[in-house]
Structure 1
């Protein structure tokens, strides 16, 4: 991100729409180059998909963008703060991170799970209590995501995988983040639960037009219709990046997965089919 211009006394400082900027990022672990000169800029209101085969570097890149790790080389700025010059834990408190493998083992009520998004903790923090307004916000988010009413009183172990996914989206939104990261949110969902989740994401994005999101997946069928941009990763390198319709093409996706597929888009949703099967 370019340095901020010197403010004129009394003038209101403009708010940048850039929420993430990664420049020529490398990431090396145990001598292995997992990311190779990857660059990405995400603005407010953009909804990115990171796609690639297993081992392509998607989760590694998401870890950098979620302030979980530092790059080996290159520069990553998140919400105007440069990794390596900021406390990662403090920065993560300003992000919404949705992990379907949420490591909660207590039988918390759905509403209480959502409220842990305010403390950035898995379990409720001892001697901390939410305000009435915070509880009302949790209930509003749960209602928006189809988990309001009696479902808000349900216990975590009794939830289906789809219900857990929608609960975790509400939890990520509690601190009003400018950026939400979704790490394979449709993992383990059946068809109905997946469609409910994707509908919830579309509605979420419509109700929060300034929110930016980044979603990691292996499957084009798991992309919401509201996806605006995409990046294809292969072997830790960027194969394509930009507006979704320009990146998610038959040619580029086939190269990304090293398999001939035909890409179609109907009613805003993408689908991939083996080229051989499509020719029958």
Structure 2
């Protein structure tokens, strides 16, 4: 059986007396690419916090890379998890190369007196090429488009050679062309890093990469559907999760969703 990268078992989470999650089960194996979907307030960010070893469950167990939260040194564990967050708060005018290299140090800024090795620099250049930013490698962060920032952050997440990649609404703020470029970059990971597992959070089916293999659909902190994507993402399950009649379709590997007029019913 393929190595298990992430396992949540009967996880609940309460904050200030409010139940945020209830009975969440999730198993992610090496090479699988999961989508985490649901309406606003469904609990997606909390689940992603477990995946990133940032949040502890109120009850149940969370095992990340074979190590149980609550029994492991977190900083060391987090070095093996890559994060892509479009709200990455870089404040200095770092170049693309410098931003990518901060993935090695796990910092927002380049640490004082730290210098990358020649091998680390070569790896950064390789990843910048992989995400299609060769000509922008010395461009500074404030001058980058949102799409270029997103691709830079993917390279940053990958430079530490993580086993698990977490993408938190990575296409936020992108126009259609930039979104498609970013999704192509994510799709390419199935070839350049075939054993990498990923979890991508989104509200929108249109933002799912073609290489997405599985999905977890949640609503009000509970699982609506989970499993291989073609089984989990259906007109029925999405309608239940978003509490609105929505027709789901898939064409050429990409998903779409649109509201169904009441007089038309849920057919199709």
TM-score, structure 1 as length reference: 0.92
Structure 2 gap segments, 5+ residues each = none
Contact 1:20–1:78, Cα closer than 8 Å, also in 2 = yes
Which of 227, 233, 250 is the matching residue for 1:248?
233
| Residue of structure 1 in register with 2:202 after alignment | 217
Contact 1:186–1:222, Cα closer than 8 Å, also in 2 = yes
- Residue 114 (1) aligns with residue 100 (2): yes
TM-fit CA distance, 1:209: 0.8
For 1:117, what is the secondary structure of its paired residue? helix
- Residue 98 (1) aligns with residue 84 (2): yes
TM-fit CA distance, 1:206: 2.0
Give 1:58-77 correspondences, 5 Å limit. 58-77=44-63
TM-fit CA distance, 1:278: 10
Contact 1:23–1:75, Cα closer than 8 Å, also in 2 = yes
Which of 175, 178, 186 is the matching residue for 1:193?
178
- Residue 134 (1) aligns with residue 141 (2): no
Whole-angstrom CA distance in 1 between matches of 2:62 and 2:77: 13
Deviations 1:197-232 (A, max 9, x none): 001100122221101000000000000000000000
| Residue of structure 2 in register with 1:181 after alignment | 166
For 1:195, what is the secondary structure of its paired residue? helix
Structure 1 stretches of 4+ with a deviation exceeding 6 A read none
TM-fit CA distance, 1:16: 6.2
TM-fit CA distance, 1:279: 4.5
Deviations 1:160-205 (A, max 9, x none): 0000000000000001001000000010001110000001100122
Give 1:10-25 correspondences, 5 Å limit. 17-25=3-11
TM-fit CA distance, 1:93: 1.1
TM-score, structure 2 as length reference: 0.96
Work out the number of aligned pairs and report it. 265
